[in-house]
Structure 1
Amino acid sequence: MRAGEELPPLEIEITRTLIVAGAIASRDYQDVHHDAELARLKGSPDIFMNILTTNGLVGRYVTDHFGPRAVLRKVAIRLGAPNYPGDTMVLTGQVEEAAGDTATVRVLGTNGIGRHVTGTVTVAVPREVG
């Protein structure tokens, strides 16, 4: 881990199944995450991903890069453009700072209409003893 290190991009297809499953798994039963007709009545063109699913995908992106010993210490994200079915979100990241076994990674997730998520993730990667 070193400051400036770039994480490889990760493309995630945004499917209806991903959106609905993420909402159910996080117990977010808001209709805008599973009922397209009600989402349209509320002004959205379709259902859209909830923040907890995005949070999980951001965490997975970072831990997949740093390996099975990686432990998330802090995830701070802000949502922007919604993730709608049929789009692709591309996650990118860069290590902002690294000290000892801890790094802070700046993460950006974009889709076809703009920035879906921005934020930082603090991750610890304990060194193997032995």
Structure 2
Amino acid sequence: MTSQNTRRFDTVRPGETLPALPIPITVALIASGAIATRDYFPGHHDKDAALALGSPHVFMNILTTSGLAQRYVEEWAGPAAVFKDLKIKLGAPNYPGDTMSFTGEVTHTDAASRTVVVSLKGRNSMGNHVTGTATLVLP
């Protein structure tokens, strides 16, 4: 659930850490994320197809990862924050039965534009699934 309180620019400082967010990785999350983003590649919803590709199970698509990364930052920032940019890089795959834990830190602020840059990581048991930055404007 998104926080009802929006962070204010004047209360945010570089070095501030965001609360961790663990996300259990399930077949339902992977398959529904792929379907919701119209990514019908079989490796995202058909275990037999994923096995034939050499994967141990279905695996999460980048659009689901992107949405989860945005959710993570927006839950911290609140509903009045304006999301300007998200840049991510994928690493280790997300498979069912694992947990991806998001962590983040404010790395830059700009008073003139009220812009905040957050560095984020989503880590599972194999390493970083996703790393990147999000840029937002706070009231």
What does residue 17 of structure 1 align with? Answer: 28
Q: What is the CA–CA distance in structure 2 between the aligned matches of 1:77 and 1:23, rounded to whole Å?
A: 18
Structure 1 residue 124: deviation in Å?
Answer: 1.1
Query: How much identity, in percent, do the aligned residues show?
Result: 53
Deviation by residue 1:82-101 (Cα, 9 ceiling, x = unmatched) = 00001000000000001132
Equivalent residue for 2:48? 37
Pick aligned residue for 1:89 from 76, 97, 100? 100
User: What CA distance in whole angstroms lies between the structure 2 residues aligned with 1:50 and 1:2?
Assistant: 33
C-alpha separation in 2, matches of 1:70 and 1:19: 27
Q: TM-score, normalised by structure 2?
A: 0.89
Amino acid aligned to 2:52? L
| Cα separation, 1, equivalents of 2:30 and 2:82 | 25
What letter is aligned with 2:30?
I
1:26 aligns with 2:43: no
Deviation at 1:71, TM superposition (A): 1.7
* 5+ residue gaps, structure 2: 1-11
Unpaired runs of 5+ in structure 1? none
How far the C-alpha of 1:123 sits from its partner, in A, is 1.0
Among 5, 14, 22, the residue aligned to 2:16: 5
SS in 1 for 2:130: strand
**Does residue 120 of structure 2 align to residue 107 of structure 1?**
yes
> CA RMSD, aligned part only?
0.7
Deviation at 1:70, TM superposition (A): 1.4
Query: Corresponding residue for 1:57?
Result: 68
Q: Which runs of 4+ in 1 moved over 4 A?
A: none
